[in-house]
Amino acid sequence: MSATLFPAQEIGSLTKPRWQIVGQHGDPLDQRAREEFRVANERTHFADDAPAAAEALLAGRSRDAGAEGVRDLGALFALRLFENAGLARVYDGEARRIEMYEYPIRQMRGFQFQGHVRSFDNKYYLKAAVTDEVRLERPYHVEEFDFVRRHARAEPKLPITGPYTLADWSYNEYYLGRRAGWKGPSVRRAAQREFVVDLAKRAIRPTLAALIERGCRVIQIDEPAAGTHPDEADLVVEGFNAATDGLDAEFSMHICYSDYRALLPTLLEARRCRQWAWEFANRDRDGRDGYEVLGALREYGDARSVGLGVADVHRDEIETPELVADRIRRAVTYLGDPTRIWVNPDCGLRTRRLDVATRKLEAVVQGAALARASFENPRA
């Protein structure tokens, strides 16, 4: 719960600015990249915390700024963008991460990358097989969090890929191969359970513990794969519980583009989860009410807070504050309690240009203010 109604939060990654991509490669910025840097810095003064790297980058000496220095600037840029938009909980836009699968897997032993799988058209993703027992090399995201903690002016909220998604996006050789005979449906399921729980206990949990020790208080476990196999909702829960039980932080679970009803009520057994951060705006169109599914939480008597997706990250069209406010009010109707609602984009905004992402975040904050006014001063 929050003292203010409808506080806003970030939910995931931002697209990287051109100057970061060019600078990280050690190439001098072209005119366009320099101009983008200049305009953004005029707005938020993000470079004030890393003046030496900024000066080198703008002077055409990207190599002197160093890849890590440029990433620092990227993280500061995202932090200030979120803060400037008015978010109460922020992170670094995942400025140091390439994606949400390969990086965590590379911090572990027991995996071998197998090659690329086509996602659609000419888009691919790299996929690994677990070929040995999962072991963590060292907790990850820790230095990244340290940097955010030092520089954030709003409360940091760290996103981390959950054990179920890491397992689902990997091939299961080790845990499946240990079982003799034909690998039919029941054998595959048992092996997957073992894989998820091992990932949770041996890799995610020690990473979470290290982050908490460094002061991380709000952690979002990303489980985008949860909706892929609704009949495995119990494995999502088991992984979540194995990773978080007994740890002292405010955990949320982010799932998107899924049939949430198909995951309920099993998902509600995630004991340490304090917030469901789900996508709704994407399905709130063409006459459909995207928030109606929230009624299921009420039916099951679940009283946790909701990270309400009120901006569609797959469309450039900017939501009006009035539309955002309307979505919030409908969500309140279904949940029955305005104090349980945080607002955010449906998912990470990396699919959108930075100017679009910025305007969407501003619309989220303005819409929340409108909704807040109507609840705090219903006659206004």
Partner 1 sequence: MIVRTGLTGPFPRSEALVAATRDLDRGRATAEVVEDLYGRTESEVVALERRLGFDTVTGGYLRWPDLFRPFAETWEGFTVGPLTRWFETNTFFRQPILHAPPSRVKGAIAARLPPAVRAEPGRAGVLLPGPYTFAGLLENRSGETEEALVHRLGRLLADEVRELAGTGYVTFQFSEPLLVDRPPERALAEAVVAAYASVHAAAGGATSLVWTYGADATPAFPLLDRLPVSAVGIDLAETDWESVPASPDRRGLGLGVVDPRTTLVEEASDVVRIVHALKDRRRPSVVWLGPGGPLDLVPWEPATRKLHLLPAVRQMLDPSRSGRP
In the complex, the residues that contact partner 1 under the rule CB under 8 A are 114-122, 124-125, 127, 129, 168-169, 171-173, 176-177, 181-186, 188, 225, 228-229, 257
Please report the DSSP string for 286-310 in residue order. TT--TTTTHHHHHHTT---EEEEEE
Smallest gap from residue 288 Cβ to partner 1 (A): 14
Residue 82 amino acid letter: F
Pick 217 or 315: Cβ nearer partner 1: 315
Pick 10 or 168: Cβ nearer partner 1: 168
Q: Answer yes or no: are the C-beta atoms of 219 and 187 closer than 8 Å.
A: no
Smallest gap from residue 154 Cβ to partner 1 (A): 33
Smallest gap from residue 70 Cβ to partner 1 (A): 21
> What does DSSP say about strands 108-120 and 123-136: parallel, antiparallel, or unpaired?
antiparallel
Q: What phi, psi does 369 have (nearest 5°)?
A: -65, -40
CA distances from 225 to 18, 262, 341 (A): 30, 13, 24
Taking the CA atoms of 215, 9, 221 and 16 in sequence, report the sign of the dihedral they define. negative
Taking the CA atoms of 114, 104, 86 and 43 in sequence, report the sign of the dihedral they define. negative
Smallest gap from residue 258 Cβ to partner 1 (A): 10
Smallest gap from residue 99 Cβ to partner 1 (A): 13
Pick 103 or 257: Cβ nearer partner 1: 257
CA–CA gap between residue 167 and residue 331 (Å, rounded) = 32
3-state DSSP assignment of residue 330:
helix
The CB-side HSE value for 98 (13 A sphere, CA atoms) comes to 9
Pick 151 or 229: Cβ nearer partner 1: 229
Pick 176 or 221: Cβ nearer partner 1: 176
Please report the DSSP string for 15-36 in residue order. PPPHHHHHHHTTPPP-HHHHHH
Pick 124 or 300: Cβ nearer partner 1: 124
Pick 77 or 174: Cβ nearer partner 1: 174
> What does DSSP say about strands 250-255 and 273-278: parallel, antiparallel, or unpaired?
parallel
CA–CA gap between residue 52 and residue 31 (Å, rounded) = 20
Smallest gap from residue 56 Cβ to partner 1 (A): 28
Pick 116 or 271: Cβ nearer partner 1: 116
Smallest gap from residue 285 Cβ to partner 1 (A): 12
Nearest to 254, CA basis, from 85, 12, 1? 12
Smallest gap from residue 257 Cβ to partner 1 (A): 8
Smallest gap from residue 174 Cβ to partner 1 (A): 9
Pick 114 or 339: Cβ nearer partner 1: 114
Query: Looking up tokens 């909704």, which residue turns up?
Result: 371
